[in-house]
Each structure stands twice: as structure tokens, then as C-alpha cells.
Structure 1
Amino acid sequence: MAERETEETEEILDDAYAPLLPSNTRATLPNPFISSSRSSSFTSSLSPANSQRGHDDLTEDDRTEMDRLKLLTIFVSLYIGVFLSALDGTIVATLLAHIASEFDGFRNVSWIATAYLIACAAFQPLYGKLTDIFGRKPGLLFSNITFGIGCLACGLSSSLWFLVAARVVAGIGGGGLTALSTITLSDLVPLRKRGVLQGVGNITFGTGAAAGGVFGGWITEWLGWRWAFLLQVPLIVVSTLAITFALDLPVNEQARDGENELEREERLLNRVDFLGAFTLVAALVVFLIAASISGNQVAWSHPLVVVSFLLSVFLFYAFVYVERFIAKEPIIPVELLKDRTIFGASFTNWFMTMSVYSSLFYIPIYFVSVRGVSETQAGTSLISNFVGVAVGSFGSGVYMRSTGRYYTLALICGVSYIFGTGLISTVGLATPTWVVVLYTFLPGASYGALLTITLIALIAAVPQEFQAVTTSIQYGFRGTGSTIGVAVSSSVFQNVLSSSLHSRIRGTDAEVIISRLLESVDEINRLPEFLVPVARLAFLDASRSVFLLCFFLGIITLGTAMLMREHVLHSTLNRQG
């Protein structure tokens, strides 16, 4: 088994080549997704002469094979970035109490986590097109440096809001670390073998997300919460140096005759769709902030929430209008979503990520509030889920590499995800812990497999010129889905919990007790002994409501996965075999 995995890894490395400069005689691939009125100018702007993807139709003799050690260095550096980005998304879970205590800001401390996630989700969609223009390597260096500066600033923060701002900076870089690792690997590895490496990437991301809380808690107890951020800086420096010296990608577009470097940079800047980028980021930020505060800090009907959602709709409309009728080179060609596979893969990610993040957030809460276990024990309940993600991600990659197919596997995974979330929704007061842990494996494996499958399907559905921007689309849907999922599930949990508590607890002190329970799970341990079972039943009602929401979202996920079509997974970079 070990020899087989080694051989597979060596074959992948053998098939990975450094991109070369494009041939000027190469014909432009047709774009079936854009109306004829704009097809010529739009496709011209993304043609190989203007794109980093220009090596795709070169023969084997025209390519330069990368040194295996050098290529392995690149992979490791990319995975370091992915790991740290995921780690930073969950690391604050065990830091919030300490940070709130130091800065006396308990009411606003949740923004430390929210700011990072919103920045990641809002800026991820930009990286594909921007690195098509300026190159992958500058984009990776920007992401690494920005993330490193953000982590350093977090460790040196002197106030709560300075820390929140630093988390925004880290989030901008972190979004690029995850999106560009996927895009760059697609530049280097043939599509059919791409799934295996994407599986490794998903495992790395899952490991980082799982380790975040544990690492944060351990470092906080040992050195203090600031070092949880500061210790990431040396690793990101190593990643930056590796990319600087090992990733030898060519300049995406050389200077034209009689053009100096400054004029070349100015011409590249003129290709950037600044208006599209602004409207997209603004729409996502407004929408995600509204989703984050709705049902938690303020009611869904609060004027601030209503106005924010309406403003985000207007900004999304403005973005679509700019991309379709104004931008010469759209940040995201919205016409791509007319394709069934791209539409299906994108929304499969959206609904599935909503469901997954909701369950990951509330399964530990179920163990703490209903089963009365410690936070550490509750955290270990998710280990089987992350093991499932690893098995599903890598297994689906191996399957696609062996068969060149993905559609049937996607439907099987969709059904198994529904079955797994259905099992979780049946848990009760006396369900054995090992049974609940076993239940979480199946959704994890299905999720890991679908993450890999939808990415490969999405890339396979478009000409290679659009490979980067379609990857950005997936990360945009995934990032917003996670934030929306947690916001909606939190609102459902709180509303059901409040209703259940009011129906079960009565008396003169009922409102005081209910108010305390709605604020903190720890209040269960401070209740009179006869009220503890009553409170646990109310929390069980609330937990089940979230798990049923996850089950319902799983059904929608299967429906959107069915929209995808089977596309050829080529075994070569030039998609000729």
C-alpha cells in the first residue's frame, strides 16, 4: 500500500511541468458561455497571449520538466499556507475569553472571529482574475506577506478594535492562500491527477481547522494568547521564501516592443476591473455582516439588518451589471453560471458548506449542553468527522484518477451525506457517545469527497483560460456559505431554545433563569438540581432543530449536484489526452 502511494505521488510529480511562455501563433479557445455581442472582445482579453495559462497546447518537447525536489518544495509551501489559513479561522475559539478579559470587550469579542471569516470570503473571488493578469507568483507572495503582517499585528495589538482590524488584514491574505494554492496546483498538474493533490489539500485544510482550537488553547496556557498569532509568522516566512526561490513561473505577459517596465505595469493595471472588484467586495461584506449579526446581536427584522440586506442586493445587482455590460475583463464572468455544471458545482458547495459548518459548530454544543461533557471532550467528538473528510477527499481523488469520472460518485456522496445528517438528527439524551462519533464520520467523508469532485468538475467544464476564475467562484460560494450557515443555524438554535425553555420552565424566577441560559451554556451547572434535566431537554430540542436544518440543506445539496454533467478529465496539461 505504501509503495503504491509512493508510485502515485511520483507519477504526479513526473506529470507536473513549469509553465512556459505562450506561443503567439496559438488560436484562441472558443467561449461558449458569452453572448456573441461580447464574445470576441471578452475572449480576446483572456486569450493565451494575455494569460499565464498559455503553455497548455505546447508539445512535450516544448515543456521544461520541473525538478521533483523543487516541485515538492512548492507543494509543501502551498500547503503550509492552506494549513495556517484554516488554523487562523478556528484558533480564536479558545482565545476569546482571555482576549475579552484583557481588553474588557466581551460584548464585541466575537468580531475577532467574524472579521477574519468575512475578509476571507469577500476577497477570495478576486484572486483568480487578478493573478491571470499579474501572475500567480506575485499573488502568492502578496497573500503570504499580507497574512504574515496580519498575524504579526494581531500579536502586537494594543486594543480590541486594532486586533479586529489586524484580523481583517490576515483574512485578506488567508483567502488568497487557500484560493491560490488550488489555482496554482491546477496550473502544474494534469486535471485527471489533480483530484489526488486536491484531496491532500483538503486534508491539510481540515487538519488546520481541527487543530486551531487545540493549538490556541495550548499556546495560551503556555505563553499567552498573543503567541498563538506570533508563532505563525516564522512559518509564513518559510512559505514565502520557498515560493520566492522555488516557484519559477514566467512573467505572464512580457513588455511589448518599445515598452518599458513601467508602461507594462500601467497597461496591466488598466486591465483590472476595479469597479467590478469594488461592487463585489462591498456586496459580500455588507451581506456577510448582516448575516453575522442577524438573530444573534439583533433580530432579523431589525432596521439595520433589513437595510443591510437590501443594500447588498443592490450592490450584487450593480456587480452583475458591471460584469456583463461595462467591464472589458470581468473579475468574474457571470455568464459562466449559465453552464449547468458550474451552476450545480457552485451551489452544491454553497448549501453543503452551510450544512457542514452548522453541524460542526453545534455538535460540540450538543455534547456540552445535553450530555454535560467538558469542552475538550466535546471537541474530540469531531475527530471522526475530520478523519472522514481526509478519507473522502483522498479517496475521491484516487477514484477520479483511476476512472476519469466523477458524476456517479457525486450523487452517491450526496445521498450518503443526507443519510449521515439524518442519523445525527436522531441523537438524544442517552445516545452512546461512540454512536454519535460514528454518525459524524459519514457526513465528513461525503463532504470531503464532494469538495474535491465539485472543484474538478468545475475546472473540467470550462476552457483552461477560465480555470482560475471558476476556481475563485467556488471559493466565493464556499466562504459565504460557511458564514451564512453559522448565522442561520445560530438564529434557529436561539429561537427554538427560547421557545422550549419558556414552555418547560415556569414560575416567578423563570424569566431570569431563561435569560441566563440563553446567554451561556455554563448556566446549566448552576441551576437547581431538579431543573437541570429540564434545561438539557430544551437544549436537545434546539440542537435537533439545527441538525434537521443540516439534513434539509443536504437534500438541496443533492439536488444541485444532480445538475452537474460528466466532463472529460484529461491526463495531460494540454488536455489532448
Structure 2
Amino acid sequence: MRSLLHKLGRPAAPADIVEEVQHNPNDKEAAVGTTSATNASDPGAETDSSQEISKEAQAGIQRVEAMTKVWTRNDMYMAYITIWILYFVDALQSGMSTSFYPYVTSSFALHSLTATTSIMSSLIGGLFKLPLAKILDIWGRPQGFCAMLGCLTIGLIMMAGCNGVKTYAAAQVFYWVGYNGLTYSISIFLADTSALKNRALLFAFVSSPYIITCWISGIVAQRFLDGPGWRWGYGAFAIIVPAVCSPILWLFYKNHVKAKKAGLLPKHESKGNFWQTLKFYVIEFDILGLLLITTGLALFLLSFNLYSYQKDQWKSPLIICFLIFGGLLMIAFALYEKFLAPKTFIPYQLLMDRTVISACILAGALFVSFYIWDSYFSSFLQVVNNLDVVKTSYVVNVYSVGSCFWSLLVGWAVRKTNRFKWLAVYFGVPVTILGVGLMIHFRQPNENVGYIVMCQIFIATAGGTLVICEQMAVMAATSHEFIAVVLAIEAMFSNVGGAIGSTVASAIWTGVFPKHLAKYLPASEQQNLTAIYGSIVTQLSYPYGSETRNAIARAYGDSQKYMLIAATAIQAISMVSVLFWRDIKLDSVKQNKGLVF
């Protein structure tokens, strides 16, 4: 890290890494001449006036283009270093919060409501990216960033001071909207300030803190629990997170002032009276379209998350209504955007672009597959492989550490070759199929856990490749104006995929495990079938190697085999998806203006 900071601290950098985006002779916008001036405080920085601010773009996009035309390399380096630190703090806090969860819920009596709240907060936090994309485009990146920072901080404060499950429930919604929105806003800012061919490397760089935090977040949580308590754990980060964000906010403000003095910012025009202003923003935000898609997705995803709480499960009238009306609203959204919307959330032609839609389908398929095989993974390691909680966490974290580390190499490969499709076609999908497919054999009783770790390494390297490549695919296929929207759509497909994957895993588990458990349990333990099925504590209470424990392990193995077969089969969709991508040469796509990485 020290050598990296030294590299970033240089006043100048090679022209192929940090560059002023020069005029593209094929650009339809008129060039107004080429001049450059040397900044006294940063000799390596140049002010590019070869391209005007996009006059047809929305105000938020115009403002960020203006900022990149006036900021210096030192400003850019400071922004990226601050973002890395912010990702580190956010990842540390998120991991710590997960460790706090059972201790927080144990303080309340209404555990079932807390579980439902967790579903709702995750769902709302994921879907909020859709309206946030429009906020970033219309009002601006700093405005969206500040709003999400406010939500995150409010959530942490409420969790620190909550005295009941209802307050904690509301706090979770604020927290996850803020957390997901903050990381999403940063991703859009990175896309705004980087050349397309370097963007994969930059995305991988700011995600690298997860390599460290997954090992230390539990230690930090334990120190708080042994000391001042979980409330101070939340309270401390309610102070730390805004403090860490202050440098990037200062950079936003500083360069906003510079751009304003340079006359680069779009002029604020009156929208008329209150009703005229309201009508303008209703059209600009595509309010009806957003309501249709977010409500439809919310109902559709809730059906997958809440069916197990219903007496009749999938036959419940509530779940059937959720599925039907959710599906109809999503269809209505597509028809409205195609035929009626005065200003669309995303151009219909772009949504139907084969690269964009295939990348989104890949995102959904990856999450379906991941949540199928991952849902009962930690339980399997403890019951079948007899690992304790700490060692189980090490094996589970192989994916996080491996994918984040490998994505750095993927980013470098994308930058060197100027292409991304080949990595997905020849490495990402095949190695994912290899890793998940091998687990069909190795995730069984009496198999060495080292082979499972090997499979995890395969899946981690492939996952790190595909996540980067799918993001590059949706960004390369569009213009700067729609970057925020296509990344939000890609995240939406991931949410849907995760919900479907969890449901498939649950269906296989409830359909296979109890039946096979009854088949393998010795006669003396048949009366304990329900208790064994319902509790991992009961499962672990039987000595490792005993007849009952072996029977439980065999039932686990049978369940895992069906899950892994399903997870492997889903990858056929992934392979077809990446084959439909256009093989885009990244350095031929000019999206950004001004000084970029």
C-alpha cells in the first residue's frame, strides 16, 4: 500500500493512465478550440477546453463534467484515496454490524418482527438505487452523496439509541438505504472520473479493503461487546463515517466553486410557479415509471422472502397476489416506457441493447447460482466437516478475499487489452462452472475440506472476473448520460437473482433434507427428527463420528448435491449471456470530459 500511495502522490503520471480527454473528431459536439494552461500548484495538470460541457445532458451530469475540467491531479488522487478509506470504514462497520445483530435482537422480545424488518430493509436498500440514479443525474452527485450519508448516519444513531424493535426496524431501513446508496454514489463518481479502459482497475482498487476487513471486523465487534457495548459500536461509527467523508465533500465544494467561477456550470433556469416546477420534476424523474418498477419489484421480491412465514406458503392468497400484481406492474412499466412515457427512465432502445440486457441477465444468473449453493454452506462446514465458527468463517471468506484480490488482476488485464468479453467467455464462466460443478462431488461427507477450499478459490477468481466484466459491459454499451441508470438496472437484476436463489435453496432444503434425515436416522433417534431438522445446535450436540451425526451428515450431503446441480445448471444461462455481448474496444469509446484517470 505504501508504494501505491507513493505512486499516486506524484505530480504527473503517464499519459495513458491519467489523461485529459481529447477531442474525438467523430464527436458530434462542436469543438471550440484547444488550449491548455498550467496550474501553478500542480504542474502536471492541464485544463482542457477542447470539449464543451454536454448541453443536452441533465444538470447533475453537466456539473460533474464541469468539475473534471477544473480539478487537478492532486485533487483526483486525494478523492480516490479518500474513497478507498471510506470503503474500508464502511466494510468494517458493515461486518461489525452483522456480528452485533444477535446481541441486538436478544435485547428485544419481538424477534419475528425483527426478522421481517431485515428483509424489508435489505429490499428497500436495494431498490432505492433506481430513484437514486435519477437524483444523481438531475440534481447532482454531491447532493445524492450527502443525502445517502445523512441516511446512513441517521440509521447508525437510531441503532445506537434504540430502545425497542420498532426503532431498530426503522433504523435498519435508514441504514441500508444509506449504505447501499453511498457505495452506489461512489461507483457513479468513479465512472464519471475515469476513462473506460481504466475503470475496471479503479473499481477493483476501491473494493480491495474487503480483503482486510473480513478478517478484522469480528475482532473489532468483539472488543466493543467486551467493552463499551454494541450501542457504542454503532455510535462510534456515526461519528467516524461523516468524518471520513468530509475530505471528499470538501473536494466537491472546492471544485464546484472553481467551475462556477470559470463559467462552466449550467445556469439555473426558473421552472415557473410551484405547479410548473412540480410537473417538470415529475416528468424528469419519470415518477410514474419509477413507481411502477419499484412497486412491482418490491411485491415480486417480497413474495420470495415472505412465503415461508405464511401458513400455506406458496398457496397463500397474499403471496399469490404479490406475484401476480408484481409481475403485472413490471409488464406495465415496460409498456409505459415504450409507448407513453414523456421522458423515459432509460431509453427503450438501450434497455433492449443485447450487451446491456445480456449483462443484466448474467448478473441475475450469478446471484441465483451463488445463493443456491451458499445458503447452507456455513452450516454444512460446521456439521459435516466439524469446523468451529472461526474456521468456518475463514472458509466462507475465501470468496470475498479471493474475488476482491483477483479483480485487481482483471482490471489490469482489461486495461492492457482494451477488451473485457474474452475474460468472461474464456475464463469467468468456464471456471465458475468448474468450481461449482466440482463441489457436487467434494461437498459431501468424508471428503477433505481442502478440496472445498480449492473449489472456493476457483469460484472466487471467476466471480471477481465476471462482476467486473458485467459492469464494464453495461457501461461500455451506453453513453455517459445513462451510466447511473444502467448500473442501477444491473443491481436490480442482482437483487431479483438473489431472491430467486434463496428461494430455490430453501425449497430444495425443505423438500430433501427432512425426508433423507428420516431415512438415515437410527430408530432410537426418530422421535428427535423435528428437533434435529430445526436446529443446528441440536445437530452439533451429537458427537462427531457417531451414528446419528453421520446420518445428519449424509442428509446434508444429499441436499447439497441437489443444490449444487441446480447452481451448476443455472450457469448455462451465464454462458449464453456473455456470448451475446458485443466485443467492444474500450479505448474507442469516449464517455468523459476533463481530467480523468
Give the TM-score category using the shorter length. Answer: 0.7 to 0.9
Q: Does 1:283 align with 2:306?
A: no
1:63-102 Cα deviation digits (max 9, x unpaired): 7353334323322444455456556665554334323321
Letter in 1 for 2:554: L
Note the aligned Cα RMSD (angstroms).
Answer: 3.6
Q: Measure, in 2, the Cα distance between the counterparts of 1:87 and 1:275.
A: 38
Over 3 Å counting, the alpha-carbon distance change for 1:57 and 1:140 in structure 2 is closer
Over 3 Å counting, the alpha-carbon distance change for 1:497 and 1:306 in structure 2 is same
Aligned to 1:403: 417
1:520-557 Cα deviation digits (max 9, x unpaired): 11111334843121112112222333333322222322
Maintained 8 Å contact 1:81/1:178: no
Aligned to 1:32: none
Aligned partner of residue 376 in structure 2, secondary structure:
helix
Structure 2 gap segments, 5+ residues each = 23-27, 32-53
> Which stretch shows the higher mean deviation, 427-436 or 245-254?
245-254
The within-5 A match list for 1:218-367 is: 218-247=223-252, 248-249=255-256, 253-256=266-269, 267-268=280-281, 271-295=284-308, 299-367=313-381
Letter in 2 for 1:127: L
1:345-386 Cα deviation digits (max 9, x unpaired): 111111112222444443222111212222221111123322
After TM superposition, give the deviation of residue 5 of structure 1 in Å: 9.6
Over 3 Å counting, the alpha-carbon distance change for 1:118 and 1:509 in structure 2 is same
Output the TM-score relative to the length of structure 1. 0.85
Q: Does 1:491 align with 2:504?
A: no
Aligned to 2:76: 71
The within-5 A match list for 1:88-99 is: 91-99=96-104
After TM superposition, give the deviation of residue 479 of structure 1 in Å: 2.9
Aligned to 1:554: 571
Match among 449, 457, 474 for residue 433 of structure 1: 449
Letter in 2 for 1:525: L
Aligned partner of residue 329 in structure 1, secondary structure:
coil
Aligned partner of residue 107 in structure 1, secondary structure:
helix
Letter in 2 for 1:505: L
Q: Measure, in 1, the Cα distance between the counterparts of 2:476 and 2:152.
A: 30
1:190-236 Cα deviation digits (max 9, x unpaired): 10111101112333457656765565455334433333432321232
Maintained 8 Å contact 1:296/1:491: no
> Which stretch shows the higher mean deviation, 471-480 or 3-12?
3-12
1:376-434 Cα deviation digits (max 9, x unpaired): 21111123322320233111110111110111111121101110111222222222222
Identity %: 19
> Which stretch shows the higher mean deviation, 462-471 or 487-496?
487-496
Structure 1 gap segments, 5+ residues each = 20-24, 29-45
Maintained 8 Å contact 2:93/2:237: no
Maintained 8 Å contact 1:370/1:539: yes
Output the TM-score relative to the length of structure 2. 0.82
Aligned partner of residue 587 in structure 2, secondary structure:
coil
Maintained 8 Å contact 1:191/1:572: yes
Q: Measure, in 2, the Cα distance between the counterparts of 1:222 and 1:437.
A: 35
Aligned to 1:106: 111
After TM superposition, give the deviation of residue 334 of structure 1 in Å: 4.5
Letter in 2 for 1:157: C
After TM superposition, give the deviation of residue 452 of structure 1 in Å: 0.9
After TM superposition, give the deviation of residue 184 of structure 1 in Å: 1.0
Match among 454, 461, 470 for residue 486 of structure 2: 470
Aligned partner of residue 305 in structure 1, secondary structure:
helix
Over 3 Å counting, the alpha-carbon distance change for 1:5 and 1:216 in structure 2 is closer
Q: Measure, in 2, the Cα distance between the counterparts of 1:541 and 1:562.
A: 33
The within-5 A match list for 1:482-521 is: 482-505=498-521, 507=523, 510=526, 512-521=527-536
Aligned to 1:146: 151
Over 3 Å counting, the alpha-carbon distance change for 1:64 and 1:421 in structure 2 is same
Maintained 8 Å contact 1:345/1:564: yes
Q: Measure, in 1, the Cα distance between the counterparts of 2:559 and 2:215.
A: 24
Q: Measure, in 1, the Cα distance between the counterparts of 2:286 and 2:399.
A: 40
Aligned to 2:34: none
Q: Measure, in 1, the Cα distance between the counterparts of 2:64 and 2:228.
A: 50
Q: Does 1:456 align with 2:472?
A: yes
Q: Measure, in 2, the Cα distance between the counterparts of 1:545 and 1:213.
A: 32
Over 3 Å counting, the alpha-carbon distance change for 1:201 and 1:547 in structure 2 is farther
Letter in 2 for 1:15: V
Q: Measure, in 2, the Cα distance between the counterparts of 1:207 and 1:330.
A: 41
Q: Measure, in 2, the Cα distance between the counterparts of 1:400 and 1:572.
A: 14
Maintained 8 Å contact 2:84/2:207: no
Q: Measure, in 2, the Cα distance between the counterparts of 1:212 and 1:330.
A: 42
Q: Measure, in 2, the Cα distance between the counterparts of 1:158 and 1:413.
A: 47
Aligned to 1:164: 169
The number of aligned residues is 551
Q: Does 1:132 align with 2:137?
A: yes
Aligned to 1:479: 495
Over 3 Å counting, the alpha-carbon distance change for 1:337 and 1:63 in structure 2 is closer
Q: Measure, in 2, the Cα distance between the counterparts of 1:466 and 1:306.
A: 35
Tell me which structure has the larger Cα radius of gyration.
2
Aligned to 1:50: 58
Over 3 Å counting, the alpha-carbon distance change for 1:465 and 1:141 in structure 2 is same
Aligned partner of residue 428 in structure 2, secondary structure:
helix
Letter in 1 for 2:58: N
1:412-468 Cα deviation digits (max 9, x unpaired): 211011101112222222222222212201111111111111111211111222222
1:124-174 Cα deviation digits (max 9, x unpaired): 122222211111110111111111111211221111232122111112122
Q: Does 1:15 align with 2:18?
A: yes
Q: Measure, in 2, the Cα distance between the counterparts of 1:230 and 1:16.
A: 41
> Which stretch shows the higher mean deviation, 436-445 or 471-480?
471-480
Letter in 1 for 2:535: S
Aligned partner of residue 538 in structure 1, secondary structure:
helix
Q: Measure, in 1, the Cα distance between the counterparts of 2:21 and 2:144.
A: 17
Aligned to 1:569: 586
Letter in 2 for 1:118: L
Aligned partner of residue 356 in structure 2, secondary structure:
helix
Maintained 8 Å contact 1:118/1:483: no
Q: Measure, in 2, the Cα distance between the counterparts of 1:51 and 1:345.
A: 28
Match among 388, 394, 397 for residue 402 of structure 2: 388
> Which stretch shows the higher mean deviation, 483-492 or 203-212?
203-212
Q: Does 1:536 align with 2:553?
A: yes
Q: Measure, in 2, the Cα distance between the counterparts of 1:478 and 1:18.
A: 32
Q: Measure, in 1, the Cα distance between the counterparts of 2:324 and 2:93.
A: 31
After TM superposition, give the deviation of residue 494 of structure 1 in Å: 2.8
Letter in 2 for 1:50: Q
Aligned to 2:434: 419
